[in-house]
């Protein structure tokens, strides 16, 4: 069993870690409890980034924020890039670097209970829905439906995390904002075939479930 000494040590270490990025924490419009940003990270426009409770962002992150919302219980692997803006590219007769500060921005939402693997890039105007997993080395440029595992460039849903019965139970237990029907509707809208099997092997389908 852990003693008071090790609790004190954990609190002390957390305080030190927060100190490292105080310049960011103090600018977040919302920063929940137990938020940890690991080493070697950079955030552009932290005042555009809200962070929920129990959020762990591993080392080497690069975040260019604009209306960026990270929910509760989110785990992000090393070297994430979240890029909420694009350079404008259509000015005739001018090299792009010269008007690099003219940008198009778009928000990113990472909902509760999401796990993002290592070396993932998330582009603007995307939402990674509750309970989703994004596999290592993926590019997210479209919404990822709730409770699915997606990966690749661009990231596509590979399978659901739960069969129908477990999903219903899980949504109740975590007091999800989604109803069972809403998640199933998300699956339908994303072309994910419904069924009790988590993964149905249909190689020609856009989404394999």
Q: How far is the CB of 184 from ligand COA (least distance, A)?
A: 20
* Helix (H), strand (E), coil (C) string for 2-29: CCHHHHHHHHHHHHHHHHHCHHHHCCCC
Catalytic residues: 87
* Helix (H), strand (E), coil (C) string for 139-155: EECCCECCCEEEECCCC
Q: Please count the residues of the chain.
A: 209
Interacting stretch for ligand COA, rule CB under 6 A, among 3-11, 36-44, 60-68, 144-152?
Answer: 144-152
Question: Under rule CB under 6 A, how many of the chain's residues touch ligand COA?
Answer: 13
Q: DSSP letter at 194? A: P
Can residue 133 be called a binding residue for ligand COA (CB under 6 A)? yes
Can residue 151 be called a binding residue for ligand COA (CB under 6 A)? yes
Can residue 159 be called a binding residue for ligand COA (CB under 6 A)? yes
Can residue 131 be called a binding residue for ligand COA (CB under 6 A)? no
Q: Any alpha helices (H) in 30-142, and if so which ranges?
A: none
Is cis: bond before 184, omega within 30 of 0? no
Which residues inside 73-112 make contact with ligand COA, applying CB under 6 A?
75, 77
Exactly one of 72, 152, 166, 193 binds ligand COA (CB under 6 A); that residue is 152
Query: What number of CA atoms fall less than 13 Å from residue 122's CA on the CB side?
Result: 36
Residues that bind ligand COA (CB under 6 A): 75, 77, 117-118, 133, 135-137, 149, 151-152, 158-159
């Amino acid at each position: 069993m852990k003693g008071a000494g090790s609790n004190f040590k954990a609190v002390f270490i957390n305080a030190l870690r927060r100190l490292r990025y105080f310049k960011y924490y103090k600018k977040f419009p919302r920063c929940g409890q137990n938020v940890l940003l690991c080493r070697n990270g950079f955030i552009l426009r932290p005042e555009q980034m809200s962070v929920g409770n129990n959020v762990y962002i591993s080392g080497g992150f690069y975040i260019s924020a604009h209306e960026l919302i990270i929910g509760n219980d989110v785990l992000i692997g090393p070297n994430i890039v979240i890029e909420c803006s694009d350079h404008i590219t259509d000015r005739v007769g001018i090299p792009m670097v010269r008007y690099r500060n003219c940008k198009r921005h778009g928000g990113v939402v990472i909902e509760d209970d999401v796990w993002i693997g290592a070396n993932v890039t998330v582009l603007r105007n995307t939402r990674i829905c509750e309970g989703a997993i994004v596999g290592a080395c993926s590019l997210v440029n479209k919404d990822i439906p709730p409770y699915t595992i997606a990966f690749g460039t661009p990231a596509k849903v590979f399978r659901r995390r739960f069969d129908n019965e477990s999903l219903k139970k899980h949504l109740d237990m975590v007091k999800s904002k989604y109803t069972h029907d809403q998640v199933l509707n998300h699956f339908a809208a994303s072309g994910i075939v419904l069924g009790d099997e988590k993964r149905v092997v249909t190689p020609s389908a856009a989404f394999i479930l």
